[in-house]
Amino acid sequence: MDPRVAEFFGTGSGLMAGPQGLNSGSGNGLSLMSIKSYAKNNKKVKNRATRNTKPSNNPPYLPPEAEEGNIEYKLKLVNPTQYRFEHLVTQMKWRLQEGRGEAVYQIGVEDNGLLVGLSEEDMRASLKTLRRMAEKVGADITVIREREVDYDLDIPRKISEVLVRKVPDDQQFLDLRVAVLGNVDSGKSTLLGVLTQGELDNGRGRARLNLFRHLHEIQSGRTSSISFEIMGFNSKGEVVNYSESRTAEEICESASKMITFIDLAGHHKYLKTTIFGLTSYCPDFAMLVVSANTGIAGTTREHLGLAMALKVPIFIVVSKVDLCTKSTIERTVKQLERILKQPGCNKVPMLVATADDAVTAAQQFALSPSITPIFTLSSVSGENLHLLKVFFNIIPPLSNSKEQEELMQQLTEFQVDEIYTVPEVGTVVGGTLYSGICREGEGLVVGPTDDGNFLELKVCSIQRNRSACRVLRAGQAATLALGNFDRSLLRKGMVMVSPEMNPTICWMFEAEIVLLFHAKTVRKGFQVTVHVGNVRQTAIVECLHGKDELRTGEKAVVCFKFIKHPEYLKIGAKLLFREGVTKGIGHVASLHPLFMNQYN
């Protein structure tokens, strides 16, 4: 990674964006055509769905239709024959499978991407056929937006963009995880309370009370632990949350798509908790919340740097706009744009002002890691809150069905992130299934213990989003009940794997790292806290290959040794280490295996 990303890992002292950013950026963000040209020049984006929103006499184009993916172009669907209809239904099933239950149809567009458009009558007939196709596969359709194409013709021609959503047969709902980052008092928990409870805040923090887990959090108003909140969308794109006295089970039953928010701590004192949430829970996206009245302060830059270091796609929400003048909001947005355009960050900010922008932002954001949507909203007045909901409704999953299938065919590996004792249930562990499939009643082994062994156990029951579940698939987060298994034998950072797997555990490992920030030099014997996935433990620098010391911005291959107990690691896993203001990133390059594991 570019060492210049080190700027984002300051000491949390409220650094402001300097004037050295690329261009100052306009308060209105980039136009959609700017984004298109940017992507074309950098050759980073394939199959982009960039729109030309202004009528033009020149024929506007989309990229040619791709055989893979969940986007389908159709010129028109008027009165198809029975044979043609069956073929179209099969095609829709394929697109839904590619999008893991979601597909986008562009009606009035040729396969080569030419925006032809349809008359009002043909468009009505085409949408009617599309609705029949969706009914056949058990899906619902929602017209996301319609646009006119101007060819200097007497009859106006329209393009329709339609979202087709189906609950896949083999899973309850499509689940996306969003990590919520931002400085303390930026309004993270309040925003989540408003989104998940369906009621606006009163300006004094009422909306966030249901999210807090501890008494001291309620008293101080500051999150210190990781909490999870859910918001769903049904097949018609309508929000399903805790309003109307719904329970978590009812939300899961009626939702086709679920957004799981991981509410992380903003205060610098709880930074280790925030890093653990980002590395362990494998979020699909990160939402950085910035207060409009304070701007970029405290841990904001540090959280942005963390998300970039771990390569988590990030979008930004500017909150508390009801407290500020328009000029203050614009100043905060310009600050963000300057930071995002800086070398080492190289993002393309896109200000979302309309529902059309929100749809485009969701599609561009999923296709290109460089696009960064910026929302300005209020949790008190509700201003622009609907744009964020549109964005969450449209945003597709990052992994396609093929990647999911490959992960599911591997042996079972479940990362243990949380451990509980539940009355009349026994020991319960929470975490994420990294690979394979886990079923009720399945026998697994958990470890490594302090002496490097693995212990046998049985999965008694499974719950996802507080609802019972019989089968857990790769990439899904859940809690597993282990019956009367001794809780004292478990700790965070362990893995539960299939008995057929021979996991490699180690005391020592080598990593290729970049030292992002350190006041002096790193030498042999320096102690740091290492984060690798769900592993968090203090390690000692045993040696620096080819160097005696390491300074800020330098790269090296370093040998680390854990000081408490051996851990299960994988070659290539992302690594992040810290000690006070010292921070660095890298990946695991090689392992020094302990010995052949034994199952007890």
Q: What is the Cα–Cα distance from 371 to 486, expressed in whole angstroms?
A: 47
| Mean of pLDDT over the chain | 83
Q: Is the pLDDT of residue 511 over 90?
A: yes
Q: How many CB atoms lie within 10 A of CB 182?
A: 28
- pTM (two decimals): 0.80
Q: How many CB atoms lie within 10 A of CB 333?
A: 24
Instruction: Please tell me the predicted confidence (pLDDT) of residue 245.
Output: 58
Instruction: Please tell me the predicted confidence (pLDDT) of residue 22.
Output: 36
Q: Is the pLDDT of residue 525 over 50?
A: yes
Average pLDDT score over residue span 378-384:
92
Element (H, E) at 555: strand 555-562
Torsion sign, CA atoms 212, 218, 221, 224: negative
Q: Tokens for 52?
A: 């030309």
Instruction: Please tell me the predicted confidence (pLDDT) of residue 345.
Output: 84
Instruction: Please tell me the predicted confidence (pLDDT) of residue 185.
Output: 83
Instruction: Please tell me the predicted confidence (pLDDT) of residue 209.
Output: 67
Instruction: Please tell me the predicted confidence (pLDDT) of residue 68.
Output: 84
Q: Is residue 373 very low, low, confident or very high in pLDDT (cuts 50, 70, 90)?
A: very high
Comparing 197-201, 448-452, 543-547, the range with the smallest average pLDDT is 197-201
Cα distances (Å, whole numbers) of residue 66 to 70, 99, 375: 9, 13, 30
Instruction: Please tell me the predicted confidence (pLDDT) of residue 39.
Output: 41
Q: What is the Cα–Cα distance from 164 to 381, expressed in whole angstroms?
A: 32
Comparing 18-22, 265-269, 282-286, 525-529, the range with the smallest average pLDDT is 18-22
| Percentage of residues in the chain having pLDDT higher than 70 | 84
Instruction: Please tell me the predicted confidence (pLDDT) of residue 90.
Output: 94
CA angle 149, 154, 157 (to 5 degrees): 30
Average pLDDT score over residue span 150-161:
81
Instruction: Please tell me the predicted confidence (pLDDT) of residue 271.
Output: 84
Average pLDDT score over residue span 318-322:
94
Instruction: Please tell me the predicted confidence (pLDDT) of residue 399.
Output: 75
Instruction: Please tell me the predicted confidence (pLDDT) of residue 210.
Output: 65
Instruction: Please tell me the predicted confidence (pLDDT) of residue 47.
Output: 42
Average pLDDT score over residue span 482-500:
92
Pair type for strands 582-593 and 574-579: antiparallel
Q: Is residue 206 very low, low, confident or very high in pLDDT (cuts 50, 70, 90)?
A: low
Element (H, E) at 40: helix 32-42
pLDDT tens digit string along 323-335? 999 999 999 999 9
Instruction: Please tell me the predicted confidence (pLDDT) of residue 438.
Output: 94
Q: Is residue 236 very low, low, confident or very high in pLDDT (cuts 50, 70, 90)?
A: confident
| Percentage of residues in the chain having pLDDT higher than 90 | 49
Q: Is the pLDDT of residue 41 over 50?
A: no
Could you give the 3-state DSSP secondary structure of residue 237? coil
Instruction: Please tell me the predicted confidence (pLDDT) of residue 205.
Output: 64
pLDDT tens digit string along 258-294? 899 998 887 787 788 888 888 888 899 999 999 999 9
Average pLDDT score over residue span 503-510:
92
pLDDT tens digit string along 167-184? 655 556 788 999 999 998
Average pLDDT score over residue span 462-484:
88
Q: Is the pLDDT of residue 5 over 50?
A: no
Instruction: Please tell me the predicted confidence (pLDDT) of residue 54.
Output: 41
Instruction: Please tell me the predicted confidence (pLDDT) of residue 177.
Output: 92
Average pLDDT score over residue span 511-531:
91
Could you give the 3-state DSSP secondary structure of residue 124? helix
Q: What is the Cα–Cα distance from 209 to 217, expressed in whole angstroms?
A: 9
Strand locations in 25-156, DSSP E? 71-74, 102-107, 140-149
Strand locations in 455-554, DSSP E? 455-458, 461-464, 467-469, 471-473, 477-481, 495-497, 505-517, 527-532, 535-544
Q: Is the pLDDT of residue 563 over 60?
A: yes
